[in-house]
Amino acid sequence: MPDLTLVETQPRNRTRAVRVGRLIIGGGAPIAVQSMAATRTQDIEATVRQVTLIAAAGADLVRIAVDSRKDVEALAEVRARTRDLAIPLSVDLQENYRLAELVAPHVDKVRYNPGHLYHHERDKPVRDKVAFLAEIAEKHDIALRVGVNCGSVDPVKTAEYGADDVGAMVASALEHCAMLDELGFTRYVVSMKDSDWKKVVEGNQRFAEQRPDVPLHLGVTEAGMPPDGVIKTRIAFEQLIAQGIGDTVRVSLTVPFDDKGMEIAAGREIIADIAAGRFRSVPPNFGEGLNIISCPSCSRVENMAFIDLARQVKEMAAYASEHRITIAIMGCRVNGPGETDDADLGLWCGPVAVNLKRGAEELGAYPYDTVLGRLRTELDTLIEAKRAAQ
Ligand code: SF4
């Protein structure tokens, strides 16, 4: 698919060019549009199909999650079977950063999360772990992404910045850039994501002021289902890309696996609109009522029923649209517990049950077919409490 470049029409930050396989991110190259496979990586047939589908939708890059050695074996097979597509592959590392050594021969880029890196092998200085990753990347001729997530910033930064969670996210990204630079490794991009588009805009602006040379990967994480998920993402991208910030984008949507191409179509459409000066106006009260956030799912999703559940929650909670309440729905135990802490009501999905939370408080685990009723009761109680407080 031809790329729409903003080079002619929009100012772009002079970021350095980072090569990811055959793709160039930054350095004035067209903004790359990417997505992530939502299938279980070990389900090789489904993952090959997913990569093929995303590539066919016009993606410039596809990401896959890897958590174990068995995932790495599957990744190698997926890579072999999708080589003809000539699409660069990236891998998302979770806690176990040492897997990078096994992953690197099969991919073009590895993403690590500084927050997760902090927690794994705590006795080891973070700088040593970063040095390990940089050495692996150098040896295998691949790029890195420092992928900071506002919900999982390392606790040292969180303690330092207190309520300024955007400041903690930016500081973490800057710290990792400094470590990589000192190590002489500059083939990296940075992302700073949150489910709140305002924090995504602020974080990327603050970072770009200090490091205009570093290519940025933009995204609103857990944006939810279309159309709201696309709208939240569009607002962030319009504000950032129009200021010359952003070299690659991902639109994260909670959609069935077979519809993952929508993420690419939405990304291309937003970029084309910005390039053409077609900015959408947003009602002044957008995002002020009920806010449903849900993850886009990935190979870690524990039960495929998660996507249906997210849709059912949206339908059930429609009656509360006027209320300033956030409901978060996450697909797994890896990120689900942490990513639901800041929501008024949270659900994170396990293999056979859904864990319900009120803020950070656990309310128990419920079967998929009964959790909606319990959620409704909690929502009613919350609305009543808000009314009484008023
Ligand atoms: S919450 Fe879990 S399933 Fe959802 S995208 Fe994040 S890691 Fe994947």
pLDDT in tens, 153-178: 999 999 999 999 999 999 999 999 99
User: Which pLDDT band holds residue 10 (cuts at 50, 70, 90)?
Assistant: low
Residues of the chain with CATH 3.30.413.10: 301-389
Gap from CA of 335 to ligand 1 centroid (Å): 6
Residues of the chain with CATH 3.20.20.20: 18-275
CA–CA separation, 13 and 244 (whole Å): 5
Gap from CA of 210 to ligand 1 centroid (Å): 30
CATH C-level class of 18-275 = alpha beta
Query: What is residue 285's predicted lDDT score, i.e. its pLDDT?
Result: 77
Whether the upstream peptide bond of residue 256 has omega within 30° of 0, thus cis, is no
Q: Residue whose CA is closest, atom 2 of ligand 1?
A: 332
Gap from CA of 130 to ligand 1 centroid (Å): 24
pTM: 0.92
Counting ligand 1 atoms within 8 A of each CB, the residue from 330, 349, 355 with the most, and so the one to mutate, is: 330
Write out pLDDT tens, residues 98-140.
Answer: 999 999 999 999 999 999 999 889 999 999 999 999 999 999 9
pLDDT surpassing 90 at residue 11: no
Measured N-to-C along each axis, helices 165-182 and 197-210 cross at an angle, to the nearest 10 degrees, of: 40
334, HSE (Cβ side, Cα atoms, 13 Å): 19
Residue range 313-318: mean pLDDT, rounded: 96
205 burial level (CB within 10 Å; 0-12, 13-18, 19+): middle
Gap from CA of 288 to ligand 1 centroid (Å): 25
DSSP 223: B
Which residues approach ligand 1 with their CB closer than 6 A?
A: 295-298, 300-301, 330-332, 334-336, 339
Residue range 334-362: mean pLDDT, rounded: 94
Q: What are residue 328's DSSP bridge partners? A: 293, 346
Q: Which CATH architecture has domain 301-389?
A: 2-Layer Sandwich (3.30)
User: Which pLDDT band holds residue 286 (cuts at 50, 70, 90)?
Assistant: confident
Q: Give how far Cα 288 sits from Cα of 284, 324, 376, 382, Å.
A: 9, 6, 20, 16
Query: What is residue 8's predicted lDDT score, i.e. its pLDDT?
Result: 44
Counting ligand 1 atoms within 8 A of each CB, the residue from 152, 307, 334, 340 with the most, and so the one to mutate, is: 334
Looking at ligand 1, which atom is closest to the CA of residue 336? 1
User: Which pLDDT band holds residue 283 (cuts at 50, 70, 90)?
Assistant: confident
Average pLDDT, the chain: 94
CA–CA separation, 103 and 98 (whole Å): 9
Write out pLDDT tens, residues 200-231.
Answer: 999 999 999 999 999 999 999 999 999 999 99
Write out pLDDT tens, residues 17-70.
Answer: 999 999 999 999 999 999 999 999 999 999 999 999 999 999 999 999 999 999
Looking at ligand 1, which atom is closest to the CA of residue 299? 8
